[in-house]
Each structure stands twice: as C-alpha cells, then as structure tokens.
A = this chain, B = another copy of it.
Amino acid sequence: MRAHTGRRRNDEAKAAILTAATDLLAAGEPVTLGAIAGRAQVGKQTIYRWWPSKGAVVLEAMTERARSLAPTTSTGSLEGDLEAFVAATFAAAGTPEYTATLRGIVSEALRDEHAAAVLAEFTADRREQLYLIIERWLPDVAADLAVDQVYGVLWYRLLIGHAEVDEATGTQLAATIATQLHAAA
C-alpha cells in the first residue's frame, strides 16, 4: 500500500466556495447549492466532499469572518472592556451586509441540523469571549444570564428588525450589564 496517490485537493476551490456563499448571503440572493457551486466555478460534489450540508458551508463562511471582529484588549476596567467589546460587536453586526448574513445563517440553522451545530459552536465561541472579559474582573460571578442578555438583545433586534443594532446601543447595554454584574458580585 502506498502513502498517497492521485490529485491533491484544491484549496483555492475551498476558498472560492466560502467566498461565493458569503457573497450570495450578503447580496440577499437565494443561497442555493447550485448557485454557490456555479459562482465558485466548482462542482457540487466538491462541496459535499468537505461539508455535510448546505447550511454547514454557509455557516463556516460566516464564522471565519466573525472570529476577528471584536477587540479583546483590556482598557483597565470591567466597564471599559465590556463597552469596547459590546459596542464593537454591535457596530459590526449592525452593518447591512452583516445583518443580512447573520439572518441568513439563522435561517439555515433552523432547517439544517449540521448548520445548527455550527451555529451553536459559533455563538458559544462568541459567548466565551464575553465570559473571559467578565471573568478577568469578576472571577466568581455567575455571568450566564448577563452574557445572554447582551447577545439576546443583539440577535433579537437583528431578527425582528424593530430597533437599531448600533454602537450606541452596545455602549448603553454594556453599562447596564456592568452595573448588574457588580451588584451580583
């Protein structure tokens, strides 16, 4: 038996697929697998070789982008760190392109269990970032509910669309949550 034969896999294709998915999502066009494959100049089978379902592709496309979003450098206080992080998160999520993408992601996750798993992982990662910030200043407080209040407002407004998701909201919310955490400590 030999170590390896055959053509190597094309990493450009993988990148093209993720880009195509993000583009479609952001453009508001229907995100069909055929459309992704066509736009990426890739066969559908190539997509299924690497992802278990359409939703998983879309989510991975998003996740990559989102990871490098909000700052984690410290400002010297819980209030400051919280505000910097939450405001940046809200500011980014509030851009029209990003909003469309996040909505698209939830839409996929609700129809596809693979996508749901990736979304769960993605949001867990985001929550973890926030935990770490809180833990640095208040290591013993139970922060679960506070964290969910932050992301809850974000996603709720994104999905329903009844109110702004912007930096100011993030700032205001961060201050409120900081007070709440200090009181609980």
> Which residues of chain A have a CB within 8 Å of any CB of chain B?
103-104, 106-107, 109-111, 116, 119-120, 123-124, 127, 144-145, 148-149, 151-157, 159-163, 169, 172-173, 176, 179-180, 183
Contacts and interface: CB of A to CB of B under 8 A. Distances in A.
A176 B176 CA distance: 11
A153 B159 contact: no
Contacts of A145: 153, 169, 172-173, 176
Contact of A159 (B124, B144, B155): B155
A109 B155 CA distance: 14
Going nearest first, the 9 A-B pairs with the smallest beta carbon separation are A152-B152, A152-B156, A107-B110, A152-B153, A149-B149, A148-B153, A155-B156, A123-B160, A103-B110
Contact of A148 (B120, B148, B163): B163
Contacts of A180: 176, 179-180
A48 B85 CA distance: 46
Copies of this chain in the oligomer: 4
A24 to B, nearest CB: 14
A170 to B, nearest CB: 11
Nearest to A116: B161
A56 B171 CA distance: 36
Given A110-B110, A148-B153, 5 more contacts: A103-B110, A149-B152, A151-B152, A155-B156, A156-B156
A110 B159 contact: yes
A157 B150 CA distance: 12
Contact of A144 (B109, B151, B163): B163
B106 A110 contact: yes
Nearest to A144: B163
20 contacts: A103-B110, A104-B110, A107-B107, A107-B110, A110-B110, A119-B160, A124-B162, A145-B172, A148-B152, A148-B153, A148-B156, A149-B152, A149-B153, A149-B173, A149-B176, A151-B156, A152-B153, A152-B154, A155-B159, A159-B159
